[in-house]
Amino acid sequence: MEKKKMTYEQAMMRLETLVQTMERGELDIDQLGEALKESQQLIKFCRDKLYQAEKQVKTIMDEQ
């Protein structure tokens, strides 16, 4: 799924799946590197989504 079309909830679910897979030691070294890279991208995506939501809420609250 393309990250731009992904929702926050979908990104969090994917991140949780990756973390669980890593914790269980189910990845070889090549897969682990890819999983870590994807995890970093998902964390950034979620952080950006939260920042945007916070900014929108602040804007709405300031208008009142």
Q: What are the tens digits of pLDDT across the range 13-37?
A: 999 999 999 999 999 999 999 999 9
Report the pLDDT value the prediction gives residue 4, as an integer from 0 to 100: 66
Neighbours of 8 (CB within 10 A): 14
Burial of 10 (0-12, 13-18, 19+ CB in 10 A): middle
CA 2 to CA 32: how far, in whole Å? Answer: 21
Report the pLDDT value the prediction gives residue 3, as an integer from 0 to 100: 56
φ/ψ bin of 45: left (φ > 0), alpha (ψ from -120 to 50), beta (otherwise): alpha
Quick check: pTM over 0.85?
no
Fold of 3-63: Helix Hairpins (1.10.287)
